[in-house]
Amino acid sequence: MELRHLRYFSAVAELRSVRAASEQLHVTQPAISRQIQDLEESIGAALFERTPRGLKLTPAGQAYLEETREILARVDAANRLARRIAEGVQGHLRIGFVENAAWSGIVSDALHAFEQAAPDIALELTPMNTPEQLEAILAGRLDGGFCYRFGTLPEGIASVRILEQNVVLAVPAAWPLASLDSVAAAELAGKPFIAFPRRVYPAYYDHLLSTCAAAGLTLDIRQEASTETAILSLVSAGMGAAIVNSANRDRPPARVRFVALRDLSVPLPLEFCFAAAETNAALKRFAAQFG
């Protein structure tokens, strides 16, 4: 049995005429009659009574028509859904993001714009650091993510550059340094610092420490925390200073002040990353926002 058997049967049953069904379906009458006969033989029951006034559904045919209508409706719905997904107007996207990247600016604007433009695409947003996102993309647990990239991307991952940020010094509001507009790296020697463990993002950790050393500053790391939110909490508690993403200026903790670093620059390239072989039309539509 094939789907066309059901479509032919449904048309004949609704129109009560092979001729009318033939005209509607643009299929010859003998072909339709043959398919109806094959269907009845396959089922093992007569679906129509042939009367002088035309075809009439048998009780079995009436019951079969009701089931056929439901099947065809579900098939048509499945076809529409598949087309909409293929066109990138419906679906589901799992997007990762580094928290401070989404507080304001282009990322939050893009998320809002996409939600407005594609309301039938569900966005599932998950905060993760960059290495976690890249691992999840490769494993198929994420469709894409907003990552701060250092070094080359893992094989199989492509990206679109969004913007470039930099680092800034975060200090407790009670420190004398908090009143300054800027500071040189060497002036921070001996100050207690808070950083994240190297295992969180080895490439960035090593780059940051080497850049500090080149500027004459060896970080005296007294405390470690796995996220910048946690790091800034410790800064707020007066436990030390930290070198953090300048995006944190958009969400400053009450007891933290941000001070520019005159001679220390660590560019932070923010990129939207995704599997290079990805064919998800909704994901391509999402990534296209960034050029």
- Tens-place pLDDT, residues 48-86: 988 877 788 999 999 999 999 999 999 988 888 888 878
Which token pair is 7?
């479509």
pLDDT at res. 212: 96
- Same structural domain, 192 and 203: yes
- Tens-place pLDDT, residues 130-169: 999 999 999 999 999 999 988 889 999 999 999 999 999 9
- Same structural domain, 100 and 154: yes
- Same structural domain, 95 and 146: yes
> Which of 38, 64, 86 marks a domain boundary?
86
- Tens-place pLDDT, residues 21-51: 888 989 899 998 898 898 888 899 999 988 8
- Same structural domain, 255 and 234: yes
What is the per-residue DSSP string for 233-265?
HHHHTTS-BEEEEGGGGGS--TTEEEEEETT--
- Same structural domain, 205 and 185: yes
Is beta strand 192-195 parallel, antiparallel or unpaired with respect to 220-224? Answer: parallel
> Which of 86, 103, 125 marks a domain boundary?
86
> Which CATH number belongs to the domain containing residue 38 in this structure?
1.10.10.10
- Same structural domain, 114 and 67: no
> Which CATH number belongs to the domain containing residue 138 in this structure?
3.40.190.10
> Which of 51, 86, 121 marks a domain boundary?
86
- Same structural domain, 222 and 96: no
Euclidean distance between CA atoms 272 and 102, whole angstroms: 12
**DSSP element (H, E) containing 1:** none
- Name the residue range of residue 107's domain: 91-163+269-290
Residue with tokens 């001996």: 190
- Same structural domain, 240 and 273: no
- Same structural domain, 202 and 155: no
Is beta strand 121-127 parallel, antiparallel or unpaired with respect to 91-97? Answer: parallel
Count of domains observed in the chain: 3
- Same structural domain, 158 and 273: yes
- Same structural domain, 145 and 178: no
- Same structural domain, 70 and 153: no
